[in-house]
A = this chain, B = another copy of it.
Amino acid sequence: MNTLIVYAHPEPRSFNAALREVAVDTLHGMGHAVVVSDLYAMGFAPVVGRADFLTQHNPERFNVSLEQRHAVAHGGLAPDIARELARLQAADLVILQFPLWWFGLPAILKGWIDRVFVSGVSYGRSTVFENGKFRGKRAMVCVTTGGPAQSFGPDALNGDILDLLMPLHRGVLGFTGMTVLPPFTCFHVPYEGDAARRQMLQAYRSRLGELDRLTPLPMPRTDQYPGLLVHGQRPCAQ
């Protein structure tokens, strides 16, 4: 089993770093091969643009999807994208490890998705959800929050963590066919002391040991939407 951990935190001494290390150690102990993409340490560039490609499909008008498809056909993905995409393709389990910033992904991680989930490789016109290119892979979010647990929930001030993560779970991971495991969430982290932090790390160890017994999040199926044009025929620039 190959695991890819995509880790997005600027501080090497952070609790997020400790969670990452727990995952590396635990998964190694389970016999997994583990690769970590430490986006901050790599200086990963998160902005989609012409520099994503060695090739050029249309010099007049830049359309991300069309340039991606052209680059895939002609070996023209920039080296950093090609490397991350190869890691993603080789992974049986993908863990996204990040602090919740403004109720979403840190920009560096959103940009990893924007650039690495290449059109034609991670999805196609009718190859999404149950027909997705990445079916067979499992994905899990490991996220920390500043807000306390009671501030998250369907009727709580910050909304439910599953609703906040829905665009990621469903729109990225499920969309590409991955089996999405329930997120592992550590609440109120900046305000917790060592004892509580140790408990959270131990809970993460336990969680990683029971991945096979978790019930995945429900996802839509395209065959529930017959006649829906998932993607049209003639894309040009949005």
Contact = CB atoms under 8 A, between A and B. Distances in A.
Interface of A: 9-11, 13-16, 40, 46-50, 60-65, 99, 101-108, 110-111, 113-114, 117, 129, 144-148, 150-151, 156-159, 163-164, 166-168, 170-172, 175, 188-191, 220, 222, 224-225, 228-238
A234 B193 CA distance: 10
B63 A236 contact: no
**Chain A interface mostly helix, strand, loop or mixed?**
loop
Contacts of A61: 11, 13-14
A169 B59 CA distance: 35
Nearest to A156: B225
B170 A103 contact: yes
13 contacts: A11-B63, A11-B237, A14-B238, A40-B49, A46-B108, A46-B111, A103-B170, A103-B171, A104-B168, A104-B171, A105-B110, A148-B228, A159-B171
